Amino acid sequence: MKTKYSHAKREQYGRLLAALLCDQHFGARPTATLDGPAVLRFTPIRQVNLFVVQQLLGKWTSEMAKLRSPYFDFEDADVRQALTQFMNILSRRIKLSRPVFEPLLAQAITDTLGGALVPAETFAQKLLGEATTCTPEQLREGLRYLDLNKPVFESFLATLPAGQEQERDYLLSRFRLHEEANTADLQPIAAVLEPFNVLLPLTEKDLYEEELPTPAPAPVAAPTSASPPTFAPGPTPPAPVVTPAPAPAAAPAAPAPATPVPTPPAAPEAATEARRPLAEAAASGTAVPLYEKLKAGQPAAPSLSETLRQDRTSTTLADKVPKVESLREAISINQRFSFINELFNGENMEYHAAIQHLDTLPDASSAKRYVTENLMSKYSWVRKEEHINKLLKLIDRKFGN
């Protein structure tokens, strides 16, 4: 069974890392801008930089489409040549401020992770785009922006008949088959994630879909008939003797009530005691109260916070791992997602600002006071005790309490 990866987690990580990298670059120079060469070396991950440039080309193509007018001949050779020169000149005059660059960077990070986990996504988004049909020559235009697993894409395009248009769905299905046949040529996911992990902690496991906790099996309801339940192995107890209504004296002779209800030989004493009221109620034909069924069944299902393994791991680390140098390093990727969504209304910039400020405070008391007096009122934290307590425990770890 193939592993299911979360697109939402990729997007969340993309926003987090983009904000972090932009903090580092633009923090001291909020009005600074980036040109083309700076974009191509902005991160140590070449594929991310190339995807930013590809998005810029898409933006430029959209802007060029707006120039077309029914009043002029845009297909004229001189006009086409002039537009090409204009595009070349503009491409050497890229100027990106943080507000426009950060979303492009976040999307490029998300797309790079998606291509590592599911290469067919890169084929669909970066080579096919919105086209319904394509030729191999048109698909090759997108190869200039690929670095990750590029040989696999090149070898696939080499299998297509030159100059022949193919339907989008057909091309996608063909590529998936090609990908499965060339799995050994794909770059290992761990190797792709390693440079990301250096910039901001990330493992493949962090990108899995959340698994819902498996509910505990419902307790089996005891039969409500007059026949006592039977357990294997063991002889079947005799059926009760039913006597006519006018002869009440025959009722005590019925063997069923006098026959002790056997219990499973391996059942512990506590379970046996819990089942006894059920057996007695079943033997007497009375309805079994719900609380008795629950008491006789398996232990209650664990709560969501207990069954989500990643959250349990985070909590255990917060409780047991010794002092850390900074909150930013101590907060795991899963906790970071949780804090941003639950405490900072999904705003990763505000989350980073708050954590950065907490790291500058001198002691635990001042940090906790900032949380309880400033952040709680600013973001109206109501019914957020679980997340607040996790943050406070992390503060204790930082200051060694």
CB 167 within 8 A of CB 152: no
What is the structure's pLDDT at 348?
Answer: 77
Closest CA to 352 of 27, 5, 53: 27
What is the structure's pLDDT at 294?
Answer: 38
Which are the contacts of 394, defined by CB distance < 8 A and separation ≥ 6? Answer: 318, 324, 327, 330, 331, 335
As beta bridge partners, residue 361 has none
d(CA 190, CA 192) in angstroms, rounded, equals 5
b (16+ CB within 10 A) / e for 185-213: eebebeebbeebeebbebebebbeeeeee
Report CA-CA distances (Å) from 67 to 53, 83, 176, 240. 22, 10, 38, 93
What is the structure's pLDDT at 322?
Answer: 62
CB 153 within 8 A of CB 146: yes
What is the structure's pLDDT at 186?
Answer: 96
- pTM, whole model, 2 decimals? 0.55
**Angle made by CA atoms 112, 118, 119, in degrees to the nearest 5:** 75
Q: In 143-282, which ranges are E strands?
A: 166-167
What is the structure's pLDDT at 293?
Answer: 40
The Cβ of residue 328 has, within 10 Å, a number of other Cβ atoms equal to 17
What is the structure's pLDDT at 116?
Answer: 95
What is the structure's pLDDT at 352?
Answer: 83
The Cβ of residue 184 has, within 10 Å, a number of other Cβ atoms equal to 5
CB pairs under 8 A, 24+ apart, for 373-379? 375/343, 379/343, 379/344, 379/345
What is the structure's pLDDT at 210?
Answer: 73
The Cβ of residue 90 has, within 10 Å, a number of other Cβ atoms equal to 13
What is the structure's pLDDT at 351?
Answer: 87
Dihedral in degrees, nearest 10, Cα atoms 188, 209, 324, 379: 140
For every one of its 401 residues, what pLDDT tens digit does the chain have, with 9 covering 90 and above? 466 899 999 999 999 999 999 999 998 888 999 998 999 999 999 999 999 999 998 888 888 778 788 888 988 999 888 887 887 787 778 899 999 999 999 999 999 999 999 999 999 999 999 999 999 999 999 999 999 999 999 999 999 999 999 999 999 999 999 999 999 999 999 999 999 999 999 999 999 987 655 555 656 555 554 444 444 444 544 545 444 445 444 444 444 444 454 444 444 444 444 445 444 544 444 444 443 443 444 444 444 334 334 444 444 443 445 677 888 878 877 788 788 888 988 887 788 889 988 988 889 899 999 998 899 989 989 888 888 999 998 888 888 75
d(CA 108, CA 106) in angstroms, rounded, equals 5
